[in-house]
Amino acid sequence: MQKREDLILQQINTIGKVSVNGLAQSLNMSVETIRRDLTDLAQRGLVHRVHGGAVSIKAKDLGSSFQARQRTNADEKRAIAKNAIDYFFEGAVIGLDASSSSWHFAQLIPDIPCTVVTNSMHNITALVNKPNIRTIATGGVYSSKYDAFYGPLSEQMLQRLHIDLGIFSCSGIDNSGNIWESNELNASIKRKMMDASGQKFLLADSSKFEHKNLIKLADLSQMDILISEKSPSEELHSYCDHHNVLIIY
């Protein structure tokens, strides 16, 4: 048992993220045994359990702080947010993730009746002086690094809501149409907000194109509109055309 756990931990810490099936195959163990081992390791705080596998504790929170992201490509992100604001309408229920792109969107929302649902304290602060906007905070476990709330309580709140317009960002988009995130905290709550959203917008400056990260967040085909400041690659254009994803730049 100890030797098997050591081998599992070695693989997880080397690769960053592993799947149950992949571990079972490489260690010649049953899927059920691997699942039990991963659950035990997670309960002891040695790995972070995710759907279908596990993530290294070292790799769990590789995302940049909000302050660092806020300073990166700020002009491009603000221009992208301005294009996204064109889809705003009075009375809309808007979901904003904890990205700096969503923060730019929050700053630009006019003070007219609407509802904003967010897990981000930065978004809440951006809306505090707009009395016509009703702001709903998801609650949950607070992360000082991201200045946002995460965890089961946040996700349960989102499962009870319907959102008209969901505004999201990411760490990368590859040419195969995979959307990437740097850590499971952000990925998990973003997926729940996507599930609750009728129309989904991905705001991504061009530095995110042809870039992968640790966690696959979603398929780009799940989005309705991709907004950037530059045209993506020919391959990504073809992908969006094939899956009816509108590109705005």
Query: Minimal CA–CA distance to 189: which of 220, 151, 246?
Result: 151
Question: What tens digit of pLDDT does each residue of 69-124 get?
Answer: 555 668 899 999 999 999 999 999 999 999 999 999 999 999 999 999 999 999 99
| 206 or 47, greater pLDDT | 206
List CB contacts of 196: < 8 A, sequence separation 6 or more.
95, 158, 159, 161, 162, 163, 166
The CATH fold assigned to 2-56 is Arc Repressor Mutant, subunit A (1.10.10)
pLDDT over 80 (residue 206): yes
What's this model's pTM, rounded to 2 decimal places? 0.74
Q: Tell me whether the CATH fold assigned to 2-56 matches the one assigned to 66-248.
A: no
Query: For the chain, which residues make up each domain, given as ranges?
Result: 2-56, 66-248
Range 66-248: architecture per CATH: 3-Layer(aba) Sandwich (3.40)
DSSP-assigned states of every residue in 199-226: EEEEE--GGGBT---SEEEEEGGG-SEE
